[in-house]
Amino acid sequence: MTDADGLLAARFAATRDGYDDSDWNDVLVRRPSRRTRPRALLVAAAVVAALAIVALATPLGAAIVDGVGGFSAWIAGQPGSPVSKPEQRAFDRANSRSWLGFPAGTKLRRLITVSDLPHGRTVELLGFRSGGTLCLQIVVSGKTRASTRSCAPLSDLRHSISPVHPVLVDSGFGKGTKQAWYGEDRYHSVATQVTAGIAADGVRQVIVEDDSGRHTLRAESNAFLYVASDPVVGQRITHIWTRTTKGLVPVPFAPAPFAIGGGGFAAQDKPIPGPTEVERHVRNGTIGWLDRREPRGEPLSVLPHRGGMSIVRRHVVFGRVIAPDPSLPVRLAVTLSTSRHGGKATGLCSWLIQEGGSGGGCAVRADLFAENPITADMSLMSGSDEFETVSGLASDDVSEITAFLATGPSIPVPLADNAFIVNVPRARQPFRLVAYDSEHRVIGILAPPGMFSGPSPAPGRARLLLRAVSSNGASAELSVGKSTSGGRCFYVRYDTDSATGSSADCREPTKDGRALLLGTLGRQTQFVMGRVRGDVAEVELRFADGTRATIRPISGFVLYGIPPARVGIGHEVLEAVARDASGKRIGVESFRPTQK
């Protein structure tokens, strides 16, 4: 099993259509063989003065007092040095061939090169600015040939609270030689692991610490690059600092998740500023241009064949492709669809289209804005990306949207034709989206769930704890292993009448939290599994036919196979009741279907 890269998470059931119509290999081929040294760039004095004024008026002003400048080179789009003419032409060709390319005229810059690595690999850091977006491109050549790109919004620098901004953390390339167990899965190491970011003008050193120790990096070309060669499985950066006249200053970042997730948010325990109450309630909003089938944005025919077919084949009767932020290589496809039997278009679907794939889902058209005038999905193409993409739809009632984060300034959300897309820094989460009407009254508040909060599996193989069987030969096994928080994760492998697979959960019951953290498996419930709080002595299952079953947790865990006679309508399990050692009821968990 490999690392958590390639992840596309969405609130709706997500699909992934892997297409990439760019040609970065051509860019690699045309890279000069000789090493090009970054050279200093001269900026007009008037520009420098203007940018200095902007910097001093922002939260970065404190950093400037500490001997660190602003981000003038990046704001001007001129960090490092230009790439060679053949490289630029190759970049332009690859960009023009990609439907999701950056605007014509985007200039590629060479930032840092790390060569003579073990196993003959060279890692090069390139960068460019496109409108309000700053991007870093990692190119690995030699024995391993690969590349990846990650971007950050320019607004994050303009209102910066840190002189260093990690953009990509622990991005893996190639296959290494090491293996290790994490829970019930055996993972392979990567050959090379890369971390890179943007640095302010006066930054000279960036210090990173991972499982192999502390490493001091020279900041060059307003950037930093750390390459871990032949890392151990699960090696992750835990701290980043920059050195100023006052010493080491911590740099906020979100660790890359590993195994089933985790990583957490640096600010997850902090309150989110901004409005918390709706000032004007709106219900059952609509998207007028979609109802009238107006030709906003672009037609669905612009979608690449492989990516577009999975969207248009879903009984679509009308749809358009919207670009809320044209400087980003990201689009939102919005479609109206019927059921497979045809008739009225009752479904409304949205699909986030990115270079690495597409993901999205559908909702009942009449229910989409029944309670809230905005919807939101989150996606992360790679767990190494420091910025995740938040996209969604807004009803006609919404005039503007702002993202409020746990730390730092708020972010205005680009909104066009009822669609929005914004890149949100994971290090400053959690966050809240606030929607306003034309009179700047709050009409909607949405707090999307965190993607990687909480602990994850620690190194080591899980041990089998419980087995159970149910109807039609269904079986399940529950194993337990260590978590990164010092607690325990549990894993369930199952073979039911509806699915075969596995699940994992590292959540720990808290003293004042829920007594039961249980779930069910099977189309008609065949297993009840999960964990319980420390004071739970027994769990009583109650069935629709009036019968009951008592379970005594083992080491705080539960796995119960429903007897065949209690599987099916009229006999199904309805709820679980937790009791302490005295028999007192201390919690309940319902398995009844949600009533709408």
Task: For the chain, list residues with pLDDT below 50.
Answer: 1-68, 263-267, 595-596
Residues 448, 420 contacting (CB under 8 angstroms): no
**Torsion of the alpha carbons at 92, 93, 96 and 102, rounded to the nearest 10:** -30
Q: What is the pLDDT of residue 308?
A: 53
Separation CA 445–CA 278 (nearest Å): 7
- Which 8-state DSSP code applies to residue 511? T
CA 423 to centroid of chain Cα atoms: 10
> What does pTM read for this prediction?
0.77
Looking at the DSSP bridge assignments, the partners of residue 140 are: 123, 146
Residues 521, 529 contacting (CB under 8 angstroms): yes
- Can you list the positions of beta strands (E) in 7-104? 81-82
Over its C-alpha atoms, the chain yields an Rg (Å, rounded) of 26
Residues 485, 506 contacting (CB under 8 angstroms): yes
Q: What is the pLDDT of residue 305?
A: 66
Domains annotated on the chain, with CATH: 24-97+107-250 (no CATH), 288-446 (2.60.40.10), 462-590 (no CATH)
Q: What is the pLDDT of residue 572?
A: 92
CA dist list (Å): 234 to 37, 172, 190, 216, 459: 33, 11, 9, 21, 8
Q: What is the pLDDT of residue 155?
A: 82
Residues 59, 139 contacting (CB under 8 angstroms): no
Q: Which residues have C-beta within 8 Å of that of residue 302, sequence separation ≥ 6?
A: 99, 321
Query: Residue 191: what are its φ and ψ, rounded to 5°?
Result: -75, -40
Separation CA 236–CA 231 (nearest Å): 9
Read off the amino acid at residue 95: N
Query: Residue 156: what are its φ and ψ, rounded to 5°?
Result: -70, -25
* Other Cβ atoms within 10 Å of 445 Cβ, number: 17
Token output for 223: 């950037």
Read off the amino acid at residue 584: K
Q: Which helix (H) or strand (E) holds 63?
A: helix 61-65
- Can you list the positions of beta strands (E) in 286-410? 298-299, 316-322, 331-339, 342-354, 357-364, 377-379, 387-393, 400-405
The dihedral region occupied by 177, where left means phi > 0, alpha psi between -120 and 50, and beta the remainder, is alpha
